[in-house]
Structure 1
Amino acid sequence: MMDDAQSIGQRMRDARLRLGLTQADVAAALGYTQGWVSKAEKGRIELDRTSMINAVASVLHIHPNELIERPYRTTASANQWRVSAASIIRELRRYDLAPVFDGTPRPAPVLWAETRGLHSLRDDAKNTSILALLPDLLREARALVEVSRGRQREEAFGVYAVVCKFGHTAAHALGHPELVTMTCERAAWAADRSGDELLPAVADWMRVWDMWATADWDDAMALSDKALHRVEPLYGRGDPAAVRVWGSLQLRAAVSAARASRAGEARHRVAQAHEAAGRLGGALLPFDRHSLTFSRGNVAIHAVNVELEMSHQSEALRLHREMEPGALESLPRSRRGHYRLDLARAYLWSGERDRALHELEIAEATAPQLIRNHPIARATLRRIRSAGRAGVSERLRRMSSRFHLDD
């Protein structure tokens, strides 16, 4: 049985041959050597960077999920989220048709209150639970649009857009590209009708994430700047919601620049986000309707991620050591899980395999559903396992079983 790395390599080779490309052609497009492509196709190189996976997939004109065969094979019970995903897609397809809804839809303030529960589930990385709730919420928000006028109608569109945003996050985490695309498109459609000056920029923030899948780093930067220009007047006036959107867009731009190997630009964007977080200070919005996780702590962990994206693991670990005490504790589980995964990679690339395994275990314990479905977590685990020593072999075996690596 081939392991994941070998399977990815085989799919990489198959896609290359379908296009009639040589290994040298692919190497030239990627900026790597022909030997690197040969090793990758034989499973001797782990594609353990998102930017690398996306760049390879883009050159081969396939979706990254096709390359890494995601969603992953797992248990029947764990696959039930696909039923919810199918129901959501049906609702999104009929967005401009009369909704099928029995009874009278609840008013917008009540539906906004429902999104608080989605926010909590998102923070805890419970993505399958999010998807289970979305079909009914989308249907009811769409029904409210039909029966309302004026501001109430705009608010219903706002609810619809933000519910799509939660679906977008969950679909990315679970690996459902069709749902990712449709939630992004419908969020933009609803945001333009919501009367919310910031919501179209939030929809652009979602689109930037999707541009990463095709390694369109420059387009991702351009879209971030377009959205930043849109919110600049409100940001200049110090509106707290606008500060959150501005800072979140700067962090998106920072990651895009890092993946494009533009170190100066990436660090400049992190500095801009840090300034935005300083402007926000300790101000708490009564309700963050856009559900953006933006704070000083979030800027700090993005700074580490940006260095790691540029293969500067020593700098990433230095920033980790100098991080403000308590910065991580203030973040939701989803963000802390991602961050611990970043630390696992940084330690692994620095030759500290035991510390890497320890951080990966913390990541899994913090956000199990997120980490077990994360392609970079799986690639990191495979690399640790391939170099594992007897003292950690049982831990690795158990973790591999939980990740279904050998199924």
Structure 2
Amino acid sequence: MDSEGSSSGVGKRVAEVRKLGGWTQAKLARLANVSTSLVRAVEQGRAPASPAFISACARALGVGVPDLLEQPYHRTSKADHEVHAVIPPIRRELAAYQMEPLDDVQLRPLDDIARDVARASKLRHAVNLVELGAELPGLLEELRAAVHTLTADRRERAFGLLAEAYAAAGQVVYKLGYIDLASLTVDRYEWAAARSGDELAVLAGDYQRAGELIGAADWSSALRFLEKSRSHIESKIGKGDGPVLSIWGSLHLKSGLAAARADKRDLADLHLAEAKETADRIGVDRDDYRLCFGPTNVNIWSVGLAVEMMDGTEAVKRSETFTVPVTAQKERAGHHWIDLARGYLIHGDKNKAFAALRKAKSVAPTQTRYHPMVHETLRVLAREEARTTESVRGFAAWCGITSV
């Protein structure tokens, strides 16, 4: 890491940890189940580190994913300090989740609280982390008071709202690089959802839990877990209920990710096909349990899954079959352009890779600034594209990367 505090990149961190353990590149490759040539390319900065590579290496080396990503990134601007200032109050609320608020909280009608929770979810989808982070602690505290005060059905509804608020908090901390804190929000979500009386909310928690397993490179466990989760509603999907279908399709998408990370392409494609069939059956984009399931999200995932399988050409091909509508949530649209930038890079079109990053920045700037895959893509572009070095370096500096 340089004197400005910017990340040194995953490749350098992998090399440092590997050498501290006295390992050769070949040994790391064997234990992480990747090729030695890939380890060499990532360490030398010639190839970006994929999420699968990072989690597999972290597991093999006995370190956490945040250790290799050096997250959360150091703050290099006033804007950084402003957005990260939301973390301490969210952390305090997560710690106090079972405690009745000490101060008297003026409890509003649940309908009013529900409107604010829905607004928080919209801010999450818009990746407005500063405003969302400022509102969440008070909202979480009020919901804590509600679940301690209300009874029967009203209490279950309050738990459902609390679960949704925890999901929003999880996205704030995750996008800012507090991965362990994001894991804690999954625990809190599951705790609240289990008390909501809503089976689908519980399964939405399974979707999040599977993400934790995938991030820890336990892809086989994630696949088994998701299959079991789907079994709870398999008998209901024939009825055509929108929320049930949304959960069913979302769980298949998550299985597709686990399969892609495990390098099981045929299985990933099967889960993607199942999700697409489900989305076509629904016919519209829905936001049940804030999972954004529908034709648009399945298209976005189709590109992302090809990138996860390191097939840039297929990712580009899939991206050309659809257009992300202007009505799509910025969170999802921004993620699409970040994925597509990686796809173009793997495909060998560095100019379009950088153009996709610029598009991601225009759609969801905060998400783009802190996304580790953006940092990895930029480092490879800066290394290999001498003629565009100044523009790439300017983008990297905006991301807080001062040494590429």
User: Do the two structures share a fold, i.e. TM-score over 0.5?
Assistant: yes
* Matched residues, number: 400
Supply the distance in 2 between the matched residues of 1:342 and 1:189 (Cα, whole angstroms): 32
Where in structure 2 are the equivalents of 1:290-369 lying within 5 Å? 290-323=289-322, 326-369=323-366
What percentage of residue pairs aligned between the two structures are identical? 30
| CA displacement at 1:235 relative to structure 2 | 2.7
Letter in 1 for 2:315: A
Find the counterpart in structure 1 of residue 63 from structure 2. Answer: 62
Q: Check 1:332–1:270 CA distance in 2 against 1; reply closer, same or farther (3 A cut).
A: same
Structure 1 residues without counterparts, runs of 5 or longer: none
Residue 38 of structure 1 and its aligned partner are, at CA, apart by 5.1
- Superposition pairs of residues 62-101 of structure 1, within 5 angstroms: 62-73=63-74, 74-101=76-103
Measure how far apart 1:274 and its partner are: 1.0
SS of match in other structure, 1:62: coil
Partner residue of 2:374? Answer: 377
Q: Find 2:395's aligned residue among 375, 399, 403.
A: 399
SS in structure 2 opposite 1:198?
helix
CA distance in 1, matches of 2:303, 2:285: 25
CA deviations 1:89-148 (Å, max 9, x no partner) are 222222222223424312322211112211221221222332222111111111011111
In 1, are the aligned partners of 2:59 and 2:217 still within 8 Å (CA)?
yes
Matched-pair contact (CA < 8 Å) for 1:204–1:224? yes
Instruction: Report how far residue 248 of structure 1 moved.
Output: 1.1
Q: Deviations over 1:222-250 (max 9, x none)?
A: 22212212233443322211111111111
Q: How far apart are residue 255 of structure 1 and its match?
A: 1.1
Consecutive unaligned residues of structure 2, counting only runs of 5 or more, are none
Q: In 2, Cα distance between the equivalents of 1:104 and 1:234?
A: 40
Q: Which residue of the partner structure matches residue 50 of structure 2?
A: 49
2: distance between equivalents of 1:107 and 1:228?
35
1:146 aligns with 2:148: yes
**Bigger CA drift: 139-148 or 288-297?**
288-297
What displacement does 1:351 show?
2.1
- Residue 107 to residue 93, structure 1, CA distance change in 2 (3 Å): same
CA contact (8 A) 2:159 2:196 kept: yes
8 Å Cα contact 1:259-1:310 kept in structure 2: yes
| Aligned partner of residue 290 in structure 1, secondary structure | helix
For each residue in 1:246-294, what CA deviation from the matched residue of structure 2 results, as whole angstroms up to 9, or x when unmatched? Answer: 111111111111111111111111111111112212486xxx5611111
Question: Which of the residues 200, 203, 217 maps onto 1:201?
Answer: 203
Q: Find the counterpart in structure 1 of residue 218 from structure 2.
A: 216
Q: C-alpha displacement at 1:186, in angstroms?
A: 0.9
Cα contact 1:71–1:176 (8 A) shared by 2: yes
TM-score w.r.t. structure 2 length?
0.92
- Offset at residue 34 of structure 1 (A): 4.8
Matched AA of 2:307 = L
Give the deviation of 1:33 after TM superposition.
4.8
- Paired residues of 1:124 and 1:332 also in contact (CA < 8 A): yes
Distance change in 2, residues 1:221/1:157 (3 Å) = same
Aligned mates of 2:72, 2:285 — CA distance in 1: 39
CA contact (8 A) 1:24 1:34 kept: yes
Amino acid at match of 1:64: V
Equivalents in 2 of 1:297, 1:72: separation in Å?
A: 31
AA at the equivalent of 1:339: H
1:133-179 C-alpha deviation (Å, 9 max, x unpaired): 21111111110111111100001111111111111122221110232
Q: Quote the Cα distance in structure 1 between the aligned partners of 2:50 and 2:335.
A: 13
Cα distance per residue 1:7-26 (max 9 Å; x no partner) = 53443244335555444331
Cα gap change, 1:78/1:398 in structure 2, threshold over 3 Å: closer, same or farther? same
2:256 — aligned with what?
254
Alignment partner, residue 264 of structure 1: 266
Q: TM-score, normalised by structure 1?
A: 0.91
Cα distance in 2 between the residues matched to 1:195 and 1:321? 42
Indicate which of 232, 237, 243 corresponds to 1:235.
237
Residue of structure 2 equivalent to 1:190: 192
1:31 match = 33
Give the stretch that moved more between structures: 59-68 or 88-97: 88-97
User: How far apart, CA to CA, are the structure 1 residues paired with 2:237 and 2:131?
Assistant: 34
Cα 1:270–1:400 shift into 2, 3 Å:
same
Q: Does the CA contact (< 8 Å) of 1:201 and 1:227 recur in 2?
A: yes
Distance 1:157 1:224 in 2: 23
Provide the rounded CA distance (Å) in 2 between the counterparts of 1:82 and 1:354.
32
Between the aligned partners of 1:398 and 1:86, the Cα distance in structure 2 is: 31
Q: Does structure 1 retain, via aligned residues, the 8 Å contact 2:32–2:57?
A: yes
Secondary structure of 1:105's partner?
coil
| C-alpha separation in 2, matches of 1:96 and 1:306 | 38
